[in-house]
Amino acid sequence: LAKEKGPAPMMEEEFELKSEHFRQRPELAVDGYKLGDKVKGKVLHAKYSRYMQQLAEEDPELVNSLIATGSRFTHHSSIAPTGTISLSVANNASNGIEPSFAHHYARNIIKPGRKTKEKVDVYSYELLAYRAKLGLEEGEQTGNALELPDYFITSDAVTPEQHVDIQAAAQKWIDSSISKTANVPSDYPFEQFKNIYQYAYDKSLKGCTTFRFNPEVFQGVLVQEKDLANTLYKFTLSDDQVVELKGNELVEYDGETHSAANLYDALKEGYYGKL
């Protein structure tokens, strides 16, 4: 593409080598470069980026061509938010690098005209497909309505370390970011939580995202019904009476129906009626 359209402008720029360059890439000195030398971006990119050095082991001819010509783009690939994209345009059919968040969960969405976020039920594609295979109609149940074979894995069945391992397996040939979330249980010890990031660093990840359900701070965009049912929210009325509601209970307030969790969140965060 660079041969046809021309390389990215920075590929032809000259960069002055500074001490941090030699600290991060000692091989520059081995190749005879000195402090203050100027090197074109295409050489730094194709010869001295860790990703391109790895690529050179597989396809040295391609990398030599990039050193001579430069590339059209500075990065080769990334993994976008596959869960969000799947839910938006593919009926939740594939989460890519992510396991399904849950087979049944709530997604909090902003809807024009509403005073709080709207709680929308979401079902995994595999659950719907499995129920269709069994010939079950919507609402019809056999045993546990959400019962699936044990090979249907959801995010909370995967340990944080396993989430990192999956991302690490993909990271080798992804030179940009990966949208991947390590789901952390609410009762996960803090020391172990900190270690997730060290583990991700040791695995050479470019980034690490964790999610822990914590209703006192923020319940999140995706919420499991069991978490809402197990969380109590306290509302103080104008007469100082305190009302406790489970997060998944519905509340009639100010002419609208809200989930208790979304109403609490909107009032606490100050965005009630401002969406």
pLDDT tens for 143-194 read 455 567 888 888 888 999 999 999 999 998 998 888 888 989 888 899 999 9
Please report the pLDDT score of residue 140 as a whole number: 54
Query: Among all chains, which residue has been given the structure tokens 């079902």?
Result: 123
Q: Which residue, 69, 91, 126, sits at the end of a domain?
A: 69
- Distance, in Å, from the CA atom of 96 to the CA atom of 80, rounded to the nearest integer, reads 10
Angle, to 10 degrees, between the axis of helix 60-69 and the axis of helix 50-58? 130
Query: Among all chains, which residue has been given the structure tokens 């001295």?
Result: 48
Query: 65 pLDDT band (50/70/90 cuts)?
Result: very high
3-state SS, residue 127? helix
Quick one: average pLDDT of 45-64? Answer: 94
* Residue 96 within any structural domain of the chain: no
Please report the pLDDT score of residue 48 as a whole number: 96
Quick one: average pLDDT of 107-119? Answer: 89
Q: pTM to 2 decimals?
A: 0.77
Is pLDDT larger for residue 177 or for residue 65? 65
* Residue 261 within any structural domain of the chain: yes
Range picked from 23-27, 84-88, 139-143, 147-151 for highest mean pLDDT? 23-27
Other beta carbons less than 10 A from residue 251's beta carbon = 19
Please report the pLDDT score of residue 211 as a whole number: 87
Environment class of 102 (CB within 10 Å of its CB; exposed 0-12, middle 13-18, buried 19+):
buried
Please report the pLDDT score of residue 39 as a whole number: 97
Q: Which residue, 69, 92, 127, sits at the end of a domain?
A: 69
Q: Which domain holds residue 43?
A: 2-69
* Residue 24 within any structural domain of the chain: yes
* Residue 80 within any structural domain of the chain: no
Q: Given a cut of 60, is residue 139 above it in pLDDT?
A: no
Quick one: average pLDDT of 36-55? Answer: 95
- Comparing 17-21, 54-58, 141-145, the range with the smallest average pLDDT is 141-145
* Residue 257 within any structural domain of the chain: yes
Please report the pLDDT score of residue 143 as a whole number: 45
Closest CA relative to residue 181, chosen from 202, 216, 205, 150: 205
Other beta carbons less than 10 A from residue 101's beta carbon = 25
Q: Given a cut of 80, is residue 82 above it in pLDDT?
A: no
Task: Encode pLDDT of 196-251 as tens digits.
Answer: 999 999 999 989 999 888 766 666 677 888 888 888 999 999 999 999 999 999 99
Is pLDDT larger for residue 163 or for residue 127? 163
* Residue 173 within any structural domain of the chain: no
Q: Concatenate the DSSP letters of all residues of 201-221 into one string.
A: HHTT-S--EEEE-BTTTB--S
Contact indicator for 248, 226 with CB cutoff of 8 Å: no
* Residue 92 within any structural domain of the chain: no
* Residue 198 within any structural domain of the chain: no
How many folded domains does the chain comprise? Answer: 2
Query: 142 pLDDT band (50/70/90 cuts)?
Result: very low
Q: Which residue, 69, 89, 117, sits at the end of a domain?
A: 69
Mean pLDDT score of the chain, rounded to an integer?
Answer: 88
- Segment (H or E) for 161: helix 160-171
